[in-house]
């Protein structure tokens, strides 16, 4: 038995929160009875669940590794008409969504799926999933600043957790320093804010790894399906 909103999310109807609102609005019936109470448990293999009069069916699970370009927003729809990640998945028939977010000007590795359970596992702060970014900033960075970034930075929403920080390169022609940083938190614009704390302007920010997954073989704006072995490995965070 599973909670109704979780079943709806896992079947690709909507996010868990949006599913809760649909239940509250009286749009869901279980075995012919309108259900408005949150947390009702159902058996998706036996119970007849109707959402807006349409029977809920289990969807095949899809898992994609997407190399998001800069300038693309991580949302299903954008009221301002900006390009979204879903513009790259138009040929996929089932509803999918991003695991977490990358801001509009951050590019790189983004997981896309319709598996609500796995998405919730990976996004939960307690799972401490590593996320590695390649950061290019204007100017040279002192070793003391790199150490401070690694130890933690006091941001407006609290001290950041320890991070792995590595100096990669300085380009004398462009004046850009490249740094690799691995964090496991998921605060809004965290990496940018960490560098801005020291007065550095982030010229380019790219996520190059998520857990054990990398961008190897996936060009900007392209995606690939995860293997069964990769999905099983991600579920080990449960």
9 within 8 A of 58, measured Cβ to Cβ: no
For 148-181, the pLDDT digits (tens) are 999 999 999 999 999 999 999 999 999 999 999 9
pLDDT tens digits, one per residue of 10-50: 787 887 888 999 999 999 999 999 999 998 999 988 999 99
CATH architecture of 63-125+215-237: 2-Layer Sandwich (3.30)
Q: Which CATH class is domain 2-55?
A: alpha beta
CATH architecture of 130-210: 2-Layer Sandwich (3.30)
At 58-90, the pLDDT tens digits run 778 999 999 999 999 998 888 888 999 999 999
Give the sign of the dihedral formed by CA 44, CA 21, CA 12, CA 236.
negative
Residues classed as catalytic: 103
3-state secondary structure of 60: coil
Going from the C-alpha of 27 to that of each of 21, 39, 49, 94, the distances in angstroms are 9, 15, 11, 21
Nearest to 63 by CA among 112, 119, 14, 109: 112
| Mean pLDDT over each residue of the chain, to the nearest integer | 94
| C-alpha closest to that of 75 among 65, 89, 63 | 89
């Amino acid at each position: 038995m599973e909670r109704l909103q979780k079943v709806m999310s896992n079947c690709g109807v909507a996010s868990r929160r949006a599913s809760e609102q649909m239940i509250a609005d009286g749009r869901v019936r279980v075995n012919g009875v309108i259900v408005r109470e949150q947390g009702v448990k159902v058996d998706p293999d036996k119970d007849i669940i109707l959402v807006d009069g349409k029977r809920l069916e289990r969807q095949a699970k899809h898992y994609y590794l997407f190399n998001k370009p800069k300038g693309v927003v991580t949302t299903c729809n954008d009221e301002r008409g900006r390009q979204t990640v879903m513009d790259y998945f138009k040929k996929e028939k089932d509803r999918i969504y991003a695991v977490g977010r990358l801001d509009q000007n951050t590019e790189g590795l983004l997981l896309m799926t319709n598996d609500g359970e796995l998405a919730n596992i990976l996004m939960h702060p307690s799972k401490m999933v590593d996320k590695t970014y390649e950061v290019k900033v204007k100017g040279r960075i002192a070793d003391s600043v790199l150490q401070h970034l690694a130890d933690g930075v006091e941001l407006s929403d609290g001290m950041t957790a320890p991070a792995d920080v590595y100096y990669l390169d300085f380009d004398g022609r462009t004046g850009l320093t490249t740094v690799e940083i691995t964090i496991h938190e998921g605060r809004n614009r965290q990496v940018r804010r960490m560098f801005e704390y020291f007065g550095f302007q982030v010229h380019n920010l790219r996520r190059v790894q998520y857990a054990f997954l990398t961008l190897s073989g996936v060009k900007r704006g392209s995606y690939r399906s995860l293997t069964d072995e990769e999905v099983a490995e991600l579920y080990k965070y449960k």
